Amino acid sequence: MAYSLLCMIVFFLGILLWIYHWKNPRCNGKLPPGSMGLPVIGESFQFFAPYTTSDVSPFIKTRMERYGSLFRTSLVGRKIVVSTDPDVNRFIFQQEGKLVQSWYMDSFDDIVGKENVLSSHGFLHKYLRNLVLNMFGSEALKEKHLSELDGLTIKHLQLWSTQPSVELKQAISNMIYDFTVRKLFGWKESRSAEKLRGCYSAFIEGLISFPLNIPGTAYWQCLQGRNKAMKVVKSMLHDRRRASPKKQDRDFLDTIVEEMSKPGSILSEQTALDLLFALPFAAFESASSAVVLALKNLRSNPLALAELTQEHETILREKETKGSSITWKEYKSMTFTHMVINETIRLGNIVPAIFRKVVKDIEIEGYTIPAGWIILACTPAVHLNSTKYQDPLTFNPWRWKGRELNAGSKFFMGFGSGVRLCAGAEFVKLQIAILLHYLVTNHRWTVTNDGKAVRQPGLLFPEGFHVRILNKNSYEVAGER
């Protein structure tokens, strides 16, 4: 009797000690203030709670008010320091490969693959990044993809204008997806590509979700989708490796196969598969959200829409050959359009957080962030700071006028910063610019169902965004704009 009582006391003391250590993690210095929440779960439920404002998430906001710009928490079993400070963020991004490494939430790693370009380090990262930039960087866009994107956009807008209403997020996703997989895998694989598309939609919602691998959860569905998708990509890669090399019409898969067969190549099959799987997704999901947000913003601001329309009508008027596709020079001259895009990215915060893993203890602002912890750079907090951006929740493209910003300035990190600046940024901007050009010059549009955006904290449009696209010179309903 006395013995079992003793056991119980020791057991409870053990648990108390464990909880104490959870709440007060070890650190060779002073940790930033904050709460570690419940054991193991931490503050994950608060972090993943959906919200509908475009403001900084309530989770971050309340903690900023309580603790300041640097605070600690715990998410999905990880010890985290959140930074909402532009200088700290910039410092962290400059430390890539030194004090920190890029890291994606464990769920993200399982889903997107441990060896993808997002979480690879050092030399391999540079190598993969160059492969991607050769495909989607400015040079390739200008020389190879511009006229094709142009034709594709005209064609899709025409098609959509024959339909009573289109769900724009889905429609744009499909368009960008088709283009991307054609560039990646070539024409012939289009049936596999369709199969692959189905797999992607199975896991979008679980992408940034609580990593609970139990049948039925969003996370579980995610992993299922990935496994299926991987099978498709793998069989495409194997088929191509068996085929004889092409001289013409080469796609990304040809490049990958060629790189893999070089003696001493650092491109392993797993790395190649992860890259091929992650790219279409990186491309269509974020880019289609950006287009929807741009149209939502323009709808809320008729003056901006008018100025945008004027810019594109001027381009049309000054064209040397009528009806020719958009040139790179014209694209670069779309100043107001670029202001609209920047403002959409700033306000949209499509990527709600950027993560880095601490490799060596970091001393900053009088605090210590221990090795092994994760830093969550909360870029929205900077994009929505009223000191830097007046009336931060208002869509105001004119605020970009004359702003001399470098890509990835510490106040604008919508596409990240430093050596990991988004490899698809120019591709997305070009895509949006072309779409806006034809939308405002050839068409009119009315919103038939303006579904709310939800963030959890990844951006979702559960009800979609439905528009009716009309040809500019047709007036079907009297009185319609």
Ligand X SMILES: *[C@@H]1O[C@H](CO)[C@@H](O)[C@H](O)[C@H]1NC(C)=O
Residue 448 parent element (H or E): strand 443-450
- Residue 111 binding ligand HEM, by CB under 6 A: no
- Within residues 28-57, the interface with ligand HEM by CB under 6 A covers none
- Residue 338 binding ligand X, by CB under 6 A: yes
Cβ at position 390, least distance to ligand X in Å: 12
Nearer residue to ligand X within complex by CB, 90 or 182? 90
Q: Which does 342 bind (CB under 5 to 8 A by kind): ligand X, ligand HEM, none?
A: ligand X
User: In sequence order, what DSSP letters do the residues of 275-318 get, joined into one string?
Assistant: HHHHHHHHHHHHHHHHHHHHHHHHHH-HHHHHHHHHHHHHHHHT
- Residue 83 binding ligand X, by CB under 6 A: no
Q: Which two tokens stand for residue 39?
A: 């054991």
Cβ at position 214, least distance to ligand HEM in Å: 28
How big is the CA angle at 440 (ends 297 and 462), to the nearest 5 degrees? 40
Q: How many residues bind ligand HEM (CB under 6 A)?
A: 25
**Residue 212 to residue 49: CA distance in whole angstroms:** 16
Cβ at position 179, least distance to ligand HEM in Å: 10
Cβ at position 343, least distance to ligand X in Å: 9
Q: How many residues bind ligand X (CB under 6 A)?
A: 16
Q: Which does 412 bind (CB under 5 to 8 A by kind): ligand HEM, ligand X, none?
A: ligand X
Q: Which of 459, 443, 458 is nearest to 293 (CA)?
A: 459
Q: Which does 403 bind (CB under 5 to 8 A by kind): ligand HEM, ligand X, none?
A: ligand X
The distance of Cα 395 from the centroid of its chain, to the nearest Å, equals: 20
DSSP strand E in 323-392: where?
354-358, 362-364, 367-369, 374-377
- Within residues 403-422, the interface with ligand X by CB under 6 A covers 403, 405-407, 412
Nearer residue to ligand X within complex by CB, 180 or 344? 344
- Residue 400 binding ligand X, by CB under 6 A: yes
**Residue 104 to residue 120: CA distance in whole angstroms:** 10
Nearer residue to ligand HEM within complex by CB, 132 or 157? 132
Pick from 130, 335, 394, 448: which binds ligand X (CB under 6 A)?
Answer: 335
Is the CB of residue 449 less than 8 Å from the CB of residue 462?
Answer: no
- Residue 415 binding ligand HEM, by CB under 6 A: yes
Which long-range contacts link 147-154 to residues 24+ away (Cβ below 8 Å)?
A: 147/325, 148/179, 149/179, 149/430, 149/431, 149/434, 150/325, 150/326, 150/434, 151/325, 152/178, 152/179, 153/431, 153/434, 153/435, 153/438, 154/438, 154/442
The letter for the amino acid at 128 is L
Which DSSP category does 359 fall into? S
- Within residues 375-394, the interface with ligand X by CB under 6 A covers 381, 385, 387
Site string for ligand X, 439-478 (x = CB under 6 A): ----------------------------------------
Which residue is associated with the tokens 């006028």? Answer: 401
Nearer residue to ligand X within complex by CB, 65 or 318? 65
Pick from 118, 166, 315, 358: which binds ligand HEM (CB under 6 A)?
Answer: 118
For strands 459-460 and 374-377, give the pairing. unpaired
Pick from 427, 445, 461, 465: which binds ligand HEM (CB under 6 A)?
Answer: 427
Is the CB of residue 72 less than 8 Å from the CB of residue 33?
Answer: yes
Is the CB of residue 117 less than 8 Å from the CB of residue 416?
Answer: no
**Residue 83 to residue 427: CA distance in whole angstroms:** 29
Cβ at position 20, least distance to ligand X in Å: 32
Pick from 48, 59, 136, 331: which binds ligand HEM (CB under 6 A)?
Answer: 136
Nearer residue to ligand X within complex by CB, 64 or 293? 64
Cβ at position 300, least distance to ligand X in Å: 20
- Residue 38 binding ligand X, by CB under 6 A: no
Nearer residue to ligand X within complex by CB, 64 or 267? 64
Q: Which does 389 bind (CB under 5 to 8 A by kind): ligand HEM, ligand X, none?
A: none
Q: Which does 400 bind (CB under 5 to 8 A by kind): ligand X, ligand HEM, none?
A: ligand X
Nearer residue to ligand X within complex by CB, 390 or 406? 406
The distance of Cα 315 from the centroid of its chain, to the nearest Å, equals: 31
Residues 6+ apart with CB under 8 A from 300: 395
Query: What does the H/E/C string look like for 18-65?
Result: HHHHHHCCCCCCCCCCECCCECCCECHHHHHCCECCCCCCHHHHHHHH
Cβ at position 282, least distance to ligand HEM in Å: 4
Q: Which does 338 bind (CB under 5 to 8 A by kind): ligand X, ligand HEM, none?
A: ligand X
Is the CB of residue 55 less than 8 Å from the CB of residue 384?
Answer: yes
User: In sequence order, what DSSP letters do the residues of 199-253 get, joined into one string?
Assistant: HHHHHGGGTTS----STTSHHHHHHHHHHHHHHHHHHHHHHHHHSPPPSSS--HH
- Residue 6 binding ligand X, by CB under 6 A: no
Binding site residues, ligand HEM, CB under 6 A: 102, 117-118, 129, 132, 136, 279, 282-283, 286-287, 290, 345, 350-351, 354, 414-416, 420, 422-424, 427-428
Binding site residues, ligand X, CB under 6 A: 64, 69, 84, 335, 338-339, 342, 381, 385, 387, 400, 403, 405-407, 412
